[in-house]
Amino acid sequence: MDNTLFKPGALGDIEISNRIVMAPMTRSRAGPGDVPLPLHAEYYSQRASAGLVITEGTQPSPNGKGYARTPGIHSDDQVEGWSAVVDAVRARGGSMVLQLMHCGRVASRYNKDDDAETVAPSAIRASGKMYTDAKGMVDFDVPRALASGEIADVIEEFRHATANAYRAGFAGVELHGTSGYLPAQFLSTGTNKRSDRYGGSVKNRIRFVIEALEAMGSVRGMSRVGLRICPGNPFNDLSDDDPAETFGTLLDAVNTLGIAYLHVIRLPDGPVDNLALATKHFDGPLIVNDSYDFVEASQVVATGTAAAVSFARHYIGNPDLVERFAAGAELSGFDRKTLYTPGAAGYVDYPRMAQNDA
Ligand SMILES: Cc1cc2nc3c(=O)[nH]c(=O)nc-3n(C[C@H](O)[C@H](O)[C@H](O)COP(=O)(O)O)c2cc1C
């Protein structure tokens, strides 16, 4: 088929077998110790025909955990669990990138180890509630503001987690820079009230993200490091006075680093045209996301605007999304009730298309 979507390509040093990427999706099924299970290997390997599989958000440290049953990449057991997942995906010809998600203030102590803390740029609680297994819905924690001298330790968590990701066999790592989590908390004026070199001016507010990327790149090169952004995203009580300025300045700096790719989520009703901003300030490969279908995805890669398109929700119910697109087959929906519940139901039980659908 003469459609660029099905052609191999590269994102920096990360080779992709086609331009259809599985987007990161938290599914809250990690086992004790926040370890990925054989169930995860089954789930991800079912989806191995994606040109690239990006994992669910994964905490680089115990403090980085926000939600119930999310996996980590800071302990040896977690590395071993992920290694089995990567092996299973590779055995089916797939390639994987690990998404590092440090939730910062978007967290509850009831979801964390006893000795873990909720930290953020400033001690401002996010409005809203989150689910915990122990207490049901609870208020977000009031975070402790990181001291200036502690920020290097958090950056080091990203480096250590990246080294662990390569030990597990991942082809690269992606920094989760949106949805109100720690990197976004540093970037945004509503959550960053610091007066040290990590707060105040836009140059100071972007420093955390740049240093995290540099730490991740120090392990095996910047050309295996991706960044995910969604300028103007208000999720998890995030607000910024001028997202166009914040992200324009951020991307000008990121552009000099030589990262593998920028993963941009568009936001049609948002304050910024995110794709236009990305192409203006970043020269490297783009993965674009949010509500793409086959036709629009084919167009955006055919015109060269994006190197690849990522799909999240379609991947829940369509493990063989690539084959379905190629066959023009119908797509299945999914059950919302089992998005974040433990176990196999609604996770590994979505069938491939029947032969006669093709
Ligand atoms: C169940 C679920 C979990 C998600 N978890 C994450 C996550 O861990 N990290 C992330 O960057 N985005 C996460 N997202 C956002 C998706 O990656 C994606 O940006 C969004 O669903 C829009 O893409 P789509 O229209 O292809 O679904 C999640 C989305 C869903 C539906």
Q: What is the predicted pLDDT for the residue at 198?
A: 98
181, 198, 315, 350: the catalytic one is: 181
CA atoms within 13 A on the CB side of 333: 3
Per-residue pLDDT of 222-273, as tens digits, reads: 999 999 999 999 999 999 999 999 999 999 999 999 999 999 999 999 999 9
Q: Give the binding-site residues of ligand 1, using a 6 Å CB cut-off.
A: 23-26, 56-57, 99, 101, 176, 228, 265, 289-291, 311-314, 339
Q: Which whole number is the average pLDDT over 304-323?
A: 98
Does the pLDDT of residue 301 top 60, yes or no? yes
Question: Which ligand 1 atom is the nearest neighbour of the CA of 56?
Answer: 8
State how beta strands 144-145 and 172-176 pair: unpaired
Distance 22 CA to ligand 1 centre (A): 10
Tokens at residue 218, please? 């120090």
Q: What is the predicted pLDDT for the residue at 345?
A: 98
Choose among 310, 208, 224, 212: nearest CA to 266: 310
Rounded CA-CA distance 300/87 in Å is 31
- Amino acid making up residue 332: S
Confidence of residue 356 (pLDDT cuts 50, 70, 90): low
What CATH number does the domain containing 54 carry?
3.20.20.70
Instruction: Tell me if residue 181 is catalytic.
Output: yes
Q: Which of 19, 21, 26, 70 to mutate to test the pocket of ligand 1 (most atoms within 8 A of CB)?
A: 26
CB 262 within 8 A of CB 211: no
Total structural domains within the chain = 1
What is the pTM for the complete model shown? 0.98
Distance 320 CA to ligand 1 centre (A): 18
Q: What is the predicted pLDDT for the residue at 59?
A: 98
Sequence-separated (6 or more) residues with CB below 8 Å from residue 210: 250, 253, 254, 257
Domain that includes residue 27, residue range = 4-357
CB 136 within 8 A of CB 168: no
Question: Which ligand 1 atom is the nearest neighbour of the CA of 340?
Answer: 1
Choose among 110, 122, 128: nearest CA to 179: 128
Q: Which protein residue's CA is at the shortest distance from atom 2 of ligand 1?
A: 25
Rounded CA-CA distance 278/127 in Å is 29
